[in-house]
Structure 1
């Protein structure tokens, strides 16, 4: 029994480590849901009164947010219940797959997921502090869920490839632009419903997705700073002893560089080149910015 449990754990860990960024996001959401659920069961059985999960939810109150600023990230990995979780993860899986087909850069999926959540949180907080309808709810209202992040991905792929066809049950082949349009319209119309805060956050995610795709077409990646922050955090927790690169022809020869840093740098270079090549396929060489042309030239030199 113990051996089977150990094997199952090893399989999960291996799947997480070797999986792409889409799989990692799904695993993190599932893992957080299970851990929070198990703690909730323990609290129920032992009659422990605690609202600790509140410290992971994003508050509508700005003063409350200042006391727990980390919630701008943690809230987008929490879910109210199993149905809430499954709907978001299915949407994330379907549209995340399309995103990676269109962009070929896994890091940008994580960046957009986080950017969509952050924009959703900002829209939520602004609405609750601006509109009179929410004035008496600000102090106790909180936001949780990956819906804004998922909406950002849905809108981004729709703006990038509006005529991309997907099969929907009962509807057959439907273009992405109509899926995104209807999704945003439903959220807008449902602002007057009982889940006003959640619907407003969806609109924030949609805004993030639109801006990401719009700027990306112009050669600007607005998630680059988020990707750098994620890499920095991962680097801290994955730090390995540095090795001396004694010889080599690259600009990094002779520098101290850990295995992780080297692999991360190579992966980023490859992903960036793939993105540039994909842009050439869509719009030709003249569609590249000077920075992208220079990066492509450097990649040729590295070969």
Structure 2
């Protein structure tokens, strides 16, 4: 048991491990709610579980949002059945790996959080504005799907021709996988899970815009990173370094997708060597630096 706890502590202490941390948080919340649900059910106090869930689930009712604004974020860590969390976490793992590999852990976390927030806000807004949905203002919305769709579309926008090997079908480019699920969600808007599908689509749209803006030099995730840094410093036991003021000339740096500093494009010899390595050992044999160089070369033209 102590070994398991040590592994969990290590997962949360490691830097650039945002993907695993997001998955673990979702799993822990699911298991915690499952224990509460079973416990309250056995004791005949099911209403207590409903009360707990009401503190975490998102409802478009304005009064609920006014008094429980945190539910705009907590809902995307809540799942109520095993298949729901299983598929969401599988998709988050598959597509999140690509985003983390090329953009880093911090931007993956920002994309997830903002995708969930935008999905929740859009869900709440449409349920209050569209007459068809107004009698469902107390309909709870839970699940990471909006955040996961943001990550999926982010990965598909970042690397549209990257190939996944889909069971039975074979190799499929991720832009087609993302397009398929977006179309399915759009087609199901008139159905019983309209709120969930609205959340999917708005999260997907944000994921697309996030990468497009990032390529133009605007990082929409900076506010999230600033908040996370604040809480990290707040709970950190390490002494704060003394502030030093340095003056430097104002120089403009060129944006890169995977680094905050300007770097030159890799030369043709480097790219040829990377392509030779892919032909011999496959794409997965590349190091993170080689993948980043290959991606940057693809942005050159």
Work out whether the TM-score is over 0.5.
yes
Give the counterpart of 1:272 among 250, 253, 260. Answer: 260
Give the counterpart of 2:217 among 212, 216, 219. Answer: 219
Give the counterpart of 2:43 among 29, 43, 46. Answer: 46
Distance in structure 2 (CA, Å) of the matches to 1:185 and 1:216: 25
Query: Which whole-Å deviations, capped at 9, do the CAs of 1:183-212 have from their partners, x for residues lacking one?
Result: 110000011111110001001101110110
Aligned to 2:6: 10
Distance in structure 1 (CA, Å) of the matches to 2:262 and 2:39: 48
Aligned-residue offset at 1:275: 9.0
Distance in structure 2 (CA, Å) of the matches to 1:45 and 1:220: 52
Secondary structure, aligned partner of 1:142: coil
Q: Where does structure 2 lack aligned partners over 5 or more consecutive residues?
A: 248-257, 266-291
Aligned-residue offset at 1:111: 0.1
User: What aligned pairs does 1:81-230 form with structure 2 within 5 A after superposition?
Assistant: 81-103=81-103, 105-138=104-137, 140-230=138-228
Distance in structure 2 (CA, Å) of the matches to 1:117 and 1:275: 32
Aligned-residue offset at 1:18: 2.6
Aligned to 1:241: 239
Aligned-residue offset at 1:229: 1.2
Aligned-residue offset at 1:15: 3.0
TM-score of the two chains, using structure 1 as the length reference: 0.79
Q: Which structure dedicates a bigger proportion of its chain to helix?
A: 1
TM-score of the two chains, using structure 2 as the length reference: 0.79
Q: Work out whether residues 102 and 157 of structure 1, in 8 Å CA contact, stay in contact via their aligned partners in 2.
A: no
Q: Where does structure 1 lack aligned partners over 5 or more consecutive residues?
A: 253-269, 288-303
Secondary structure, aligned partner of 2:55: helix
Aligned to 1:261: none
Say if 2:294 is the partner of 1:283. Answer: no
Say if 2:77 is the partner of 1:77. Answer: yes
Q: Work out whether residues 21 and 107 of structure 1, in 8 Å CA contact, stay in contact via their aligned partners in 2.
A: yes
Distance in structure 1 (CA, Å) of the matches to 2:263 and 2:84: 33
The size of the alignment, in residue pairs, is 259
Distance in structure 2 (CA, Å) of the matches to 1:274 and 1:32: 40
Query: Which whole-Å deviations, capped at 9, do the CAs of 1:113-142 have from their partners, x for residues lacking one?
Result: 00110111011111211111111111x111
How has the CA–CA distance of structure 1 residues 146 and 83 changed in structure 2, closer, same or farther, with 3 Å as cutoff? same
Distance in structure 2 (CA, Å) of the matches to 1:210 and 1:83: 26
